[in-house]
Amino acid sequence: MNVNLRATVLGFLAALAVLLLTFGFVGLGPIVNAVSMADPRVVALLPLVAAAWLLAWGLSLRVVLAVIGTPVRATTAVLVYLAATFANNVTPFGQAGGEPITAYLIADVTENEYETGLAAIASVDALNFVPSLSFAAIGIAYFAATAALGRHLRAAAVSLALIATALAAGLVLGWRYRNEVRDGLTDVLTPVSRAFARLIPGRTAPSRYTVYARVDGFFVAVERVAGDRENLLLALGFATLGWLALSTSLWLSIYALSSAEPVAFAATLLVIPIGSIASITPLPGGLGGIETVLITLLVALGVDPVTAGAAVLVHRTATYWLPTLIGGLVTVTWGADAL
């Protein structure tokens, strides 16, 4: 078993332990019983909603690729995003762990440089983040206007605000001083690249200029995306549709439970973006962490704990396990060359 496979297996074992602890605390038996009583007609809609989410974000990737000069078919972009979802879901730290793999896949599919693929998926991630903040703000405003925010919701809202502020400040400063960042990355990556080159027989160590050109290619690609306002808005539109689909999935999961009390759709607009933050945990795709956060927030909103656990289990089956399975089949069956 190689190191990567070993790390993945250990990660899933840790995630399974967290899941058992979370669902066991709520009551695993009652949760399973609640799921078994869910309305099958509503549950049957969830794969379609999950497909709409993946389609929307796949089309967002297609728009970004077209802007940087590597247009692909819509089906190819969606398949690549499915493979990207698989990579994110089986590596620790969510997108931070899976996007380097996705960048390689994009570069292979588009016959482009690795840094171009990295710029494409990084741009998509940044664009996807913007609507999540807007939806969270709508959810917070709704609850602030209709009821006092509970302790857990206040803590979650403050955490989201702090993370958003830190990321925004980092992006603004990084972009303002991008020349300095470019030089700094070159200084760091040059000795690292040379060290790797010495470990691979027949590989020539890259010069500092070569490393600088690759880093510069990443920034040039990002600049092209940021400079095309029309397509930027189009990609943001697809990103927004994706978040709406994810929120709809959770809302339908609650609605499918016959014993569930009606929950305002604005609740899911708040819960889904906050829950996604847990994907940065050192667990595969945030598995375990996301479920715990979602259940905690739903209970804070007044949802019965068993109903919250059952709804999250149904929702995550449609938006984590199903895309992981299909994305894995896409990655293994077709591979980059066939996409």
Range name among 23-32, 42-51, 184-193, 275-284 with the lowest pLDDT average: 184-193
- pLDDT for 322 equals 95
* Distance in angstroms (rounded) separating the CA atoms of residues 96 and 285: 10
- pLDDT for 130 equals 81
Is 62's pLDDT higher than 90? yes
pTM: 0.82
228-238 pLDDT, tens per residue? 788 889 999 99
- pLDDT for 1 equals 37
101-145 pLDDT, tens per residue? 888 888 888 887 777 788 888 888 888 888 887 887 787 777 766
How many other CB atoms are found less than 10 A from the CB of residue 244?
A: 20
Structure tokens at 7: 């790390």
* Distance in angstroms (rounded) separating the CA atoms of residues 134 and 142: 12
Among candidates 324, 319, 327, which has minimal Cα distance to 52?
A: 319
- Which H helix or E strand runs over 244? helix 229-255
Higher-scoring residue by pLDDT: 111, 202: 111
- pLDDT for 205 equals 60
- Residue whose structure tokens are 């869910």: 38
Is 3's pLDDT higher than 50? no
* Distance in angstroms (rounded) separating the CA atoms of residues 288 and 158: 22
146-201 pLDDT, tens per residue? 665 566 566 666 666 676 677 667 767 776 777 777 778 777 767 766 665 565 55
> From residue 213, how far is each of 29, 45, 191, 209 by CA, in Å?
58, 48, 15, 6
Exposed/middle/buried for 172, CB within 10 Å: 0-12, 13-18, 19+?
Answer: exposed
Among candidates 87, 66, 80, which has minimal Cα distance to 335?
A: 80
Q: How does the average pLDDT of the chain come out, rounded? A: 81
Is 49's pLDDT higher than 60? yes
DSSP string, 181-195: HHHHHHHHHHHHHHH
Higher-scoring residue by pLDDT: 3, 108: 108
Is 248's pLDDT higher than 70? yes
* Distance in angstroms (rounded) separating the CA atoms of residues 252 and 244: 12
